[in-house]
Amino acid sequence: MNGSVYLIGAGPGDPELITLKAVRILQTADVVLIDDLVNPQLLGHTRADARIIPVGKRGGCRSTPQAFIQRQMIQEARNGNIVARLKGGDPFMFGRGGEEIVALREAGIAVEVVSGITAGIAAPATLGVPVTHRDWAPGVTFITGHSREGNEVNWAALAATRTTLVIYMGVKNLPDIVGKLLAGGLAEDTPALAVQSGTLAQQREVKATVATLHAAMTAAGIGSPAIVVIGAVADLAQIAAHTESVAKAA
């Protein structure tokens, strides 16, 4: 008999920001496929005899091919195992969970999604920033800064929405993204924020305007993995005084 697969969101990094359901499933799993950005402390919830398989995927680094991950899950489930696919954040928020659930269903494998807290909400929240606000942001757009060729983001259209823009995987392409937003009519003094390693002890952040954000990040040494927030709500960020001074200097 086939086993089953759980696509589990591990949350944004803080090991306490994982759901009780995710912990319960980890305690029963025979095999755990763990992403690179998952806090390794979460493996403390697994069985002592569970097999742990690292399947890291990091931009700019050597990564485990997605096709291999999917084949591994299918094979382990066909061997009768309970498989936990442990992903940073939420499985369906830029985590390729959509690709995996399709592959598993096509293979006839039972699969369940266990949602997790995504960094795009949790990271700005650590600084008191709500991604929506009925006076300043009628909505929020979660967007990738690293889109696949042929499926490029229309940044000019996003500039006109007046929604908070929360950009994942956007550090490398930020100058180009900002240029397109400004060309689309976004004001240069629009508040902006970047949070690196959000919710973790090593979290770092910088607050600026959209026009000065990249320079402020460079001056502060902030890089990936980072969440970028652009919109009026970013002005609510309460950050350390030394980080403020870096942003102003930039």
Mean pLDDT of 89-93: 97
For the cut 90, the answer to whether the pLDDT of residue 243 exceeds it is: no
Q: According to the model, what pLDDT value does residue 156 have? A: 94
Strand partners for 86: 8, 34
Tokens of 23: 């912990």
Confidence of residue 240 (pLDDT cuts 50, 70, 90): low
Domains 4-114 and 119-249 in one fold: no
Verify whether residue 169 is a known catalytic residue. yes
- What lies within 8 Å, CB to CB, of 47 at 6+ separation is 27, 28, 29, 30
Q: According to the model, what pLDDT value does residue 171 have? A: 95
Q: According to the model, what pLDDT value does residue 248 have? A: 47
pLDDT tens column, 137-174: 999 999 999 877 777 899 999 999 999 999 999 999 99
For the cut 70, the answer to whether the pLDDT of residue 62 exceeds it is: no
> What H or E segment, with its residue span, contains residue 110?
strand 110-114
Verify whether residue 35 is a known catalytic residue. yes
For the cut 90, the answer to whether the pLDDT of residue 64 exceeds it is: no
Verify whether residue 57 is a known catalytic residue. yes
Q: Which of 30, 35, 73, 217 is catalytic?
A: 35
138-to-112, 131, 134 alpha-carbon distances in Å: 32, 10, 6
> Looking at domain 119-249, does it have CATH number 3.30.950.10?
yes
Q: How many helices (H) and strands (E) does the chain have?
A: 8, 10
Q: Which of 57, 87, 180, 207 is catalytic?
A: 57
Domain ranges of the chain: 4-114, 119-249
pTM score of the predicted model: 0.90
Q: Which of 30, 73, 87, 169 is catalytic?
A: 169
CATH number of 4-114: 3.40.1010.10
Tokens of 235: 């002005």
Question: What is the distance between the alpha carbons of residues 193 and 164, in angstroms, rounded to a whole number?
Answer: 11
